[in-house]
């Protein structure tokens, strides 16, 4: 049977890792390729790069990073951030990305996801959705989609929208709780569970991991197919292997090759 996946995620700005990765014994701790190699050795199940480069002229740098990573790490690589056109996707895939994650462009034009899935296949189209729990009723939303790092609300219910994305051919949902992101207080497991039980494609839980208990809860309570985390791995608090051994001890099916 399929194993639950652990996916470390790196934020990359102009080809450099941001949010301070802090590995010992690393010659260049800002080089995404060096860090990718470490995660590869530790047995990460996939890698995720989020390109946060703002300026248009610097956006090309990510392609070289992907190529160099794919040359050395024989594991799946997802790249997101600023994916807006079919040409963006083509270039990322040709550089060596296995999957491309679409966020704002999917919200602005849901049919873009259909076009992308028709063109490149559902297997490489991830739709990334950022959601916040509604305290006051806003229409029928329970969790509303936000864009621009949680600044802009959309009025869209994340579960309903995700179902539409499945219909349009998305292969996977990367679900981030904006309430939890950066808090290190654990996933929004209710949101994750609601999503996982309502869509037929795999769901990656994201946002809020502070320790290994949180990772396990994303799978056990949230019913996620994969868990994504950044800081707990970057700062060397836990290795991927430690996380996997912990999860396996909790009865989760995990790959340790």
Q: Which residues bind another protein (CB under 8 A)?
A: 1-3, 5, 40, 43, 45, 67, 70-72, 74-76, 93-98, 120-124, 171-172, 197, 200-203, 223, 225-226, 255, 257
Strand locations in 142-249 (E): 143-147, 152-157, 172-177, 203-206, 226-229
Quote the CA–CA distance of 184 and 206 in Å, as a whole number: 11
Identity of the residue, 164 or 248, whose beta carbon is nearer to another protein in the bound complex: 248
Catalytic site residue 31?
A: no
- Sign of the torsion formed by the C-alpha atoms of 42, 186, 202 and 106: negative
Report, in Å, the least distance between residue 99 CB and another protein: 8
- Is position 11 annotated as part of the catalytic site? yes
Please state the closest distance from residue 46 (CB atom) to another protein, in A: 8
Nearer to another protein, 119 or 148 (CB): 119
d(CA 37, CA 28): 12
Residue in this structure with the two tokens 């309430």, named with its chain if needed:
179
Read off the DSSP letter of residue 254: B
Among 106, 121, 116, 210, residue whose Cα is nearest residue 162 = 106
Q: Find where tokens 């999503």 sit.
A: 195
- Of the pair 77, 131, the CB lying nearest another protein is at 77
Name the minimum Å distance from CB 226 to another protein: 7
Residue position matching structure tokens 């502070």: 210
Identified catalytic residue from 13, 51, 98, 130: 130
Of 20 and 121, nearer to another protein (C-beta) is 121
Residue from 11, 13, 45, 51 carrying the catalytic annotation:
11
| Smallest separation, CB 73 to another protein (Å) | 9
Q: Which residue numbers are catalytic?
A: 11, 130
């Amino acid at each position: 049977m399929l194993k639950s996946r652990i996916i470390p995620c790196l934020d990359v700005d102009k080809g450099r890792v941001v949010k301070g990765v802090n590995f010992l014994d690393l010659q260049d701790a800002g080089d995404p390729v060096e860090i990718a190699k470490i995660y590869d050795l530790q047995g990460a199940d996939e890698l995720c790069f989020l390109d946060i480069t703002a300026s248009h002229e610097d956006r090309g740098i990510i392609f070289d990073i992907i190529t160099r990573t794919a040359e050395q790490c024989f594991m799946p690589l997802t790249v997101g951030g600023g994916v807006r056109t079919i040409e963006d996707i083509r270039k990322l895939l040709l550089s060596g990305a296995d999957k491309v994650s679409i966020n704002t462009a999917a919200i602005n034009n849901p049919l873009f996801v259909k076009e992308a899935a028709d063109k490149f296949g559902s297997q490489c189209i991830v739709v990334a959705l950022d959601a916040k729990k509604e305290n006051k009723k806003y229409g029928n939303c329970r969790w509303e989609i936000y864009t621009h790092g949680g600044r802009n609300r959309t009025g869209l219910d994340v579960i309903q929208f995700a179902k539409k994305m499945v219909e349009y051919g998305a292969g996977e949902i990367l679900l981030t709780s904006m309430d939890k992101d950066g808090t290190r207080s654990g996933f929004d497991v209710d949101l994750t569970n609601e999503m996982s039980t309502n869509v037929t494609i795999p769901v990656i839980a994201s946002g809020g991991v502070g320790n290994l208990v949180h990772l396990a809860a994303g799978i056990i309570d949230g019913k996620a197919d994969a868990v994504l985390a950044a800081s707990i791995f970057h700062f060397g608090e836990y290795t991927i292997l430690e996380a996997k051994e912990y999860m396996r001890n909790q009865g989760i099916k995990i790959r340790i090759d």
